[in-house]
Amino acid sequence: MKSIIIILIIKIIIFILYVVYYNKTKEESLKYKQKSSNFAVGLTALVSINVLLILNIKDSETTIKVGLILGIFLSFVLSKCQLRASQGLCEQNNYLGSSYLTGNFKFSNIDWKYTMKISISLMIWSAVVFIIYPPQIAKDVIIKENDIYVLVVLNNIISIGFIAPISEEILYRFFGVNLFIRWFGKKRLGIIIAITIPTVIWTYMHSGMLLNDWVKYIQVFPMGIINSYVLFKKDLEHCILIHILFNLSLVISSFLLA
């Protein structure tokens, strides 16, 4: 219960910061309005599919259904604002940020060797952690017998494999890292703070997925540090791709081992 309250407080603070810095970067980010909307449409489409799957998997109360449907609309608005505010901060900090938003993205420019090397290293780390410290899966995460198995698999692939990596990289790396650089500067100490604090917050937001939360923290913390570095070295898109590959490997392995 304590972790839920802390997570709620963190989300409220993040929302306030988004509103504040959306307004502060409005002038710089205006040029990214159309592409931010396009990106948000794609993410919202995934969220919509996810909601439909959830509604077909479980019999939900009317209030929950309404909440899920409202969440689709909020997803579009928030992701559009997040992208604009984050790229605006990148511009103020003189970083590339998102290749797509700046018009520099091409699939041929993806450094697959670099991406796969990091993704596989993180997968190996995850496997070692779980072998040494077996995860105790929370009851809410376990598939119930009356759930429709195929729909659950599809839902997890979409929500864990795609939605979570995209939204988390936008929030904690794209926005979080750049926000702390804005506050603490681009010198060595400022960079360390900008990488560490969003990573610690992101790590803590994984509370409740396992009964032994500390195992989950050990598993995901390195990715937060590494992807923050990738944001500086490459761009947002490489961070998202690494996160997607990592999460998909977890989803697929969890179903194969179930």
Q: What's the pTM?
A: 0.92
Between CA 215 and CA 142 the distance in angstroms is 17
Residue 221, pLDDT score:
97
State residue 138's pLDDT score.
Answer: 65
DSSP one-letter string for 26-53: HHHHGGGHHHHHHHHHHHHHHHHHHHHH
200-225 burial: b if 16+ Cβ within 10 Å, else e: ebbbbbbbebbeebebbbbbbbbbbe
The pLDDT of residue 119 is 97
CA-to-CA distance for 224 and 206, rounded, in angstroms? 12
Residues 6+ positions from 154 with CB-CB distance below 8 Å: 53
So what's the pLDDT on residue 144? Answer: 57
Per-domain residue ranges for the chain? Answer: 2-257
Say whether 136 sits in a helix, a strand or coil. coil
Residue 104: phi and psi, rounded to 5, are: -105, 5
Amino acid 143: pLDDT: 57
Exposed, middle or buried by CB within 10 Å (0-12, 13-18, 19+), for 79? buried
Q: Using CB atoms within 10 Å of the CB of residue 180, give its burial: 0 to 12 exposed, 13 to 18 middle, 19+ buried.
A: buried
Contact indicator for 239, 169 with CB cutoff of 8 Å: yes
- pLDDT tens per residue across all 258 residues of the chain: 567 788 888 889 988 998 899 888 888 888 999 999 999 999 999 999 998 888 887 766 777 777 888 888 888 988 999 999 999 999 989 998 999 999 888 888 999 999 999 999 999 999 999 999 998 876 655 555 555 778 888 889 999 999 999 999 999 999 999 999 999 999 999 999 999 999 999 999 998 888 889 999 999 999 999 999 999 999 999 999 999 999 999 998 877 765
**Which residue(s) pair with 210 in the sheet?**
137
Contact (CB, 8 A) for 93 and 181: yes
